[in-house]
Amino acid sequence: ILNVEQSPQSLHVQEGDSTNFTCSFPSSNFYALHWYRWETAKSPEALFVMTLNGDEKKKGRISATLNTKEGYSYLYIKGSQPEDSATYLCASLTDYKLSFGAGTTVTVRA
């Protein structure tokens, strides 16, 4: 993998359902994997910074896992709520530069 890739590009979730999506990144020269939550016209909100293989982080109903050997991270949203609607960005940090994926846009339907 040469670039940071996120899939799917977008998804729709029914309120109360859980969902997850993927970030793939180059595993060479890896320093850290950052997740951000981004709403239109706001600043990207830092969710997690993950560095170690096997890392799991949790913030409320949102959690993330990291596999540095195979170069992927999953972000999970449990019991989705309308306020979870946003674009979720992952970024791989190498040499202090963040390389961003295109994002997964989540829309939670009431």
Partner 1 sequence: NAGVMQNPRHLVRRRGQEARLRCSPMKGHSHVYWYRQLPEEGLKFMVYLQKENIIDESGMPKERFSAEFPKEGPSILRIQQVVRGDSAAYFCASSREQGADGNTIYFGEGSWLTVV
What residues make contact with partner 1 under the rule CB under 8 A?
A: 31-32, 34, 36, 41-44, 46, 49, 51, 89, 91, 93, 95-103
Q: How far is the CB of 15 from partner 1 (least distance, A)?
A: 28
d(CA 73, CA 53) in angstroms, rounded, equals 10
Give 77 or 89: the residue with its C-beta nearer to partner 1: 89
> At its nearest, how many Å lie between partner 1 and the CB of residue 101?
7
In the complex with partner 1, which residue's Cβ is closer, 32 or 75? 32
**In the bound complex, what is the minimum distance in angstroms from residue 24's beta carbon to partner 1?**
14
- What is the rounded end-to-end Cα distance, in angstroms, of the chain? 37
Distance CA 58, CA 11 (A): 21
Closer Cβ to partner 1, 63 or 94, answer by number: 94
What is the nearest approach in angstroms of partner 1 to the Cβ of residue 76? Answer: 20
Cβ closest to partner 1, residue 11 vs residue 93: 93
- Judge residue 41's burial from the number of C-beta atoms within 10 Å of its C-beta, 0-12 exposed, 13-18 middle, 19 or more buried: exposed
